[in-house]
Structure 1
Amino acid sequence: MWCLNNPTPVPAEPLPVITPIYEDEHLLVLDKPSGLLSVPGRGPDKQDCLSKRVQDRYPDALVVHRLDQDTSGLLIMARGIEAQRRISRAFETRQVHKRYVALVAGNPLLTASAPNDEGWYTVEGPILLDWERRPIHIIHPDGKPSRSLWRSLHVGDTASLIELEPFTGRTHQLRVHMQSLGHPMLGDSLYAPPEVLAMSPRLMLHAKSLALAHPFTQEPLAFELPMAWAASAPYQMA
């Protein structure tokens, strides 16, 4: 007999699989989609995340760094405690090299100072959590020293495609630094004004390249995950 008060439980749908773009016995390199948390958040509605999906398939996978929920791109997980220790140390000593691409409002070249010999501009500003408006971060004298590099790839009518390299690794660093220059990222729900937020359905920030020495063999590893974005609408090319 069917009982309305005791319905047959509906099996939960399996979470989409995250397939590594590289794997060996010591590490995994993953393509994190925009909108997916890197690690679990607070509350039952924030438990789905990249690390959980990966650990369902690789139980020895451990977190070594994160990307913002709305940022896409390359992310490493270690396999085992010793690999986690070694890779974490490489991040701490800036032996892991990361580059991003982003679409920002306007043309930051118009107000930029002189670049270095490779065309990179430096932006510095100590970053502090704005406790009353968390998770928003701000440039503040009491913040942690922070430095980012950026260079222009293409300038459109309303936006610019840029490449970024974080020298330090503060929360929201690239987003805060570009906002501080007056050029927030398209689709940024935290740091862009409404008209810039509305220019894209997602945050236009992507971790496109990552390089490091293998934590055990010291073999150079380099990974590229390009994104087909343009500085003119509709910005995301098919």
Structure 2
Amino acid sequence: MLSNPYIVKPCTEDVEILFTDDDLLLVNKPAGLLSVPGRHPANKDCLITRVQRQYADARIVHRLDMDTSGIMVLALSADSHRALSQLFAERKIIKEYEANVYGTIIDDHRLIDLPLLCDWPNRPRQKVDFHHGKNAQTWVERVSQHPDGWTRVLLKPVTGRSHQLRVHLAEIGHPILGCEFYAHQRAVSMADRLQLHATKLEFCHPNSGETILGISNCPFQ
């Protein structure tokens, strides 16, 4: 066990390349790997440094939390980086996640609309703040119900706030299993990792104009 809480436990899983062309990469990030280097000198291992060993021009466009696994898009040039960043800013990239959450979700389909703000004394935690928070919305679809007391859901974020999916699910009483930031101890103990995986990215290719559909199969049940 690492004695320093600021040092990330090494991730032994590889980054999988799902698709590549002259402009971009689609990759599968394992859980436990940072998207970009951490501030502590010991936390330099991350997705972008690994990918740059093979693709020196690769650039981060967006991020996944360290504990979240799944699909990410990386740019391979300054032009594609600008174009992809603009697509994210304009919400023209379709993102989907799968998660296992605590308890029984009754609604087949619902929108969570709760503004979020950084909880500065406890960062990187976020919190709901109706006075100063930024607009944040997540569509939740129930996929299946399990007798062990959890529900499989499909998550479609409209916005892309930090920790948005984790906070939103916790706020409606269904924290994501294995979430040590926002779940109660029972939900944390029901999984050996954060049960959140980015399964889909769909967008218009910044150069060719073709539709790019990237899929990453969920690694947990």
TM-score by length of 2: 0.91
- Residues 1-238 of structure 1: matches in 2 within 5 Å? 18-109=15-106, 112=107, 120-141=109-130, 142-157=132-147, 158-227=149-218, 229=220, 236=221
Larger radius of gyration: 1
C-alpha distance in 2, partners of 1:85/1:165?
24
Shift of 1:26: 0.2
- C-alpha offsets along residues 177-212 of structure 1, whole Å, 9 cap, x if unaligned? 000100000000101111111111100000001100
| Aligned sequence identity (%) | 38
Aligned length: 208
Shift of 1:16: 6.5
Shift of 1:162: 0.2
Q: Determine the structure 1 residue equivalent to 2:9.
A: none
Check the 8 A contact 2:15/2:30 in 1, yes or no: no
Change (3 A) 1:16 1:179: closer
Change (3 A) 1:16 1:225: closer
C-alpha distance in 2, partners of 1:228/1:132?
34
Report the residue type matching 1:122 in the other structure.
L
**Which 5+ residue runs of structure 1 have no aligned equivalent?**
1-14, 113-118, 230-235
Shift of 1:133: 1.0
Shift of 1:56: 1.3
C-alpha distance in 2, partners of 1:201/1:40?
24
C-alpha distance in 1, partners of 2:14/2:150?
34
C-alpha distance in 2, partners of 1:18/1:203?
18
Change (3 A) 1:170 1:27: same
- C-alpha offsets along residues 157-194 of structure 1, whole Å, 9 cap, x if unaligned? 21000000000000000110000100000000101111
C-alpha distance in 2, partners of 1:198/1:227?
20
Shift of 1:156: 1.1
Change (3 A) 1:101 1:140: same
Q: Following superposition, which runs of at least 4 residues in structure 1 exceed 2 angstroms of deviation?
A: 15-19
Cα-Cα RMSD: 1.3
TM-score by length of 1: 0.85
Report the residue type matching 1:133 in the other structure.
N
Shift of 1:95: 0.9
Matched residue SS, 2:203: strand
Change (3 A) 1:17 1:153: closer
